[in-house]
Chain A
């Protein structure tokens, strides 16, 4: 079939099941936008390309589908870079389509030319620079396949303007032809041995990560843990993978993990790590991480095995497949099984709960998060920026639905929360979407209030305003003798008036006793709402393991 390159792109996207793309137009993508306007695919116009990438990322995390963002060449493409890196670090399936200058102008420092495939090489799973129009179908086919398969990631498709303008024959291959890669085959794994080790362990712990969410293995994980009576701790990325209020839940581990999760890791004799990559924020001092435990590492990416810790046993497999296989023929543990270990954990939980000192005088940010959790019943999709408020959400929001926590775990990107919430709301229009933001991160992408207003997205923006870059301030307080350097957010705007200027309904809360009623009001409102909470400016996130410390050495 004859069509232009731009029409081929639209046809290919449709065949991949894409219904929404987030983007921003420009010179090099004029043909694409022309075809887009004539197609059935919905385009969401953001106000900055970075937000397009984050929104596509939020859409992907909330739905499990591949997110798609679109930007023009040069600055449009480079503005995507932070969003691409964010998604890549958290294994989010994303296809980033960029315009490029005409093929005849490539390599000549032409107007709005940037080597985006070169720039993004270290932060993508793969990238394509398409030089022939008839390649568009096959390349898009491969791009989506690569983005969503195995360990998901970002694929950049760079399309020169003339390639999108030209007409050619359209083809869309039914299958992708790619190199043969080796994993550890199912037959090489001694499943019975793994089962026996877990059954026989006296103090086992499961550490579940984002791999569970990506695989959709929450049910298998819960059944597995319950069958064997093994406590479960999760990484930040795995938070929504295991119900926070489950009796076997230890909450999050690591730098800002719960004391009981970290104690359990230090005391465990067996650690079953599923879909985790042993980030430094999780392990603390790697030499003393889980010192008494044999580690069984299950991950779909063979390169994760042995990258940071050397496991005693490794399984290269999708988390869900591995858990299903492990469940086969697994005897249910007796009611008394591991009573000693679970009892010990219970007493740690009772003596070292997550806690903060509530106040009538000043609003405690933890209280706000607790109230959001209570009012939404832990059912909302919650996005955050990065810093103290992110950790408070991790601590005090009672997640029990998968794909309900959107946060930049690996890259730690401020400004992620609002655009991610936009993407999530488009992907899941029936869900309540809450963006819990700090005053610092919010201002990195506050222009997206226009997108919220334009599409009347009923996002509830809860702004925890402490007037500081709180996490940096906390580190300066604890590790730099309180010498505050460039953390005071003096110059903050009037956030209520800012939101109102964009046409949002907004309210400021300064009294502790008004927190609940303000939140109830916000969740009853039909449209977009911003609620600003003037929270305790000097509140810290505790407990905390100082950087590089051992998980046992917690402060606060």
Chain B
């Protein structure tokens, strides 16, 4: 089963290494990992897609929580969240085929953001299946390059990933 885990982490050097290292040494399989800064420049947010059972997910969440730089971890259920990924696709296109590719991009509500003599770059946003479907069709033209951000996700409604930094007195637990 695939799970979407999102983590607020301190925006400091080495945090990505800590998270990635934890995943590799504990044998968790990452499908994708996207990271960027939040509205608070001291905090970054990671969206991690992992493959595994419920027990694996629980262990992974707990282990992530043990990292000192990790502030909060949430498991986003598909039904309660929205998820998107961005893809840039460079497609080989002869001038004669331009109309065809424009139509295809329109259907997928993508954008052509660069056009060369024999190629275009398409920007596409959606969930993974939409991107996969587009790539499948674009293959007929000839895909030169693909770059995908991996999934980013957010809970629906008013729910938000709040966090608080706590003053810890000596002796208070840090797990």
Binding site for B on A (CB under 8 A): 117-118, 121-122, 125-126, 129, 145-146, 149-151, 175-183, 300-303, 305-307, 310, 318
Contact = CB atoms under 8 A, between A and B. Distances in A.
Given A146-B174, A180-B165, A306 B14 contact: no
B48 interface: no
A404 B58 CA distance: 36
B163 A121 contact: no
A306 B21 CA distance: 21
A243 to B, nearest CB: 28
Contacts of B13: 129
Which 3 residue pairs are nearest across A and B when measured between Cβ atoms? A303-B62, A179-B71, A150-B173
Nearest to A304: B62
10 contacts: A117-B14, A177-B166, A178-B174, A180-B71, A180-B72, A301-B175, A303-B66, A303-B175, A306-B55, A306-B58
Interface in B11-38: 13-14, 17-18, 21, 25
A175 B170 CA distance: 7
B114 interface: no
B95 interface: no
Given A121-B18, A149-B173, A183-B173, A307 B59 contact: yes
Contact of A181 (B17, B169, B174): B174
B136 interface: no
B63 A149 contact: no
Contacts of A180: 71-72, 163-166
B157 interface: no
Nearest to A122: B25
A346 B166 CA distance: 51
Interface string B55-98: 10011001101111111100000000000000000000000000
Contact of B170 (A145, A181, A307): A145
B66 A177 contact: no
Nearest to A144: B170
Interface string B116-135: 00000000000000000000
Contact of B168 (A176, A182, A301): A176
B78 to A, nearest CB: 23
B163 A179 contact: yes
A150 B172 CA distance: 7
A460 to B, nearest CB: 36
Contacts of A301: 66, 175
Contacts of A149: 168, 170-174
Contacts, number: 88
B175 A150 contact: yes
Given A149-B172, A178-B165, A178-B166, A302 B62 contact: yes
B175 A183 contact: yes
A176 B175 CA distance: 14
A129 B69 CA distance: 14
A493 B69 CA distance: 49
B168 A177 contact: yes
Interface string B146-167: 0000000000000000011111
A175 B169 contact: yes
Contacts of A178: 68, 165-166, 168, 174
Contacts of B67: 126
Contacts of A179: 10, 68-72, 163, 165-166
Contacts of B65: 181-182, 302-303
A306 B59 contact: yes
A271 B169 CA distance: 34
Nearest to B175: A150
A300 B172 CA distance: 12
Contact of B167 (A121, A150, A177, A310): A177
Nearest to B63: A303
B54 to A, nearest CB: 10
Contacts of B166: 177-180
A145 B21 contact: no
A325 B172 CA distance: 18
A318 B170 contact: no
Q: Name the residue among B65, B67, B72, B174 with the largest chain A CB count within 10 angstroms.
A: B174
Contacts of B62: 302-303, 305
A185 to B, nearest CB: 12
B175 A302 contact: yes
Contacts of B59: 303, 306-307
A182 B163 CA distance: 11
A126 B168 CA distance: 16
A175 B167 contact: yes
Contacts of B165: 177-180
A492 B10 CA distance: 53
A317 to B, nearest CB: 9
Given A175-B168, A176-B168, A179-B166, 13 more contacts: A126-B67, A145-B174, A175-B167, A176-B167, A179-B68, A179-B72, A180-B163, A180-B164, A180-B166, A300-B173, A303-B62, A303-B63, A306-B59
Contacts of A150: 173-175
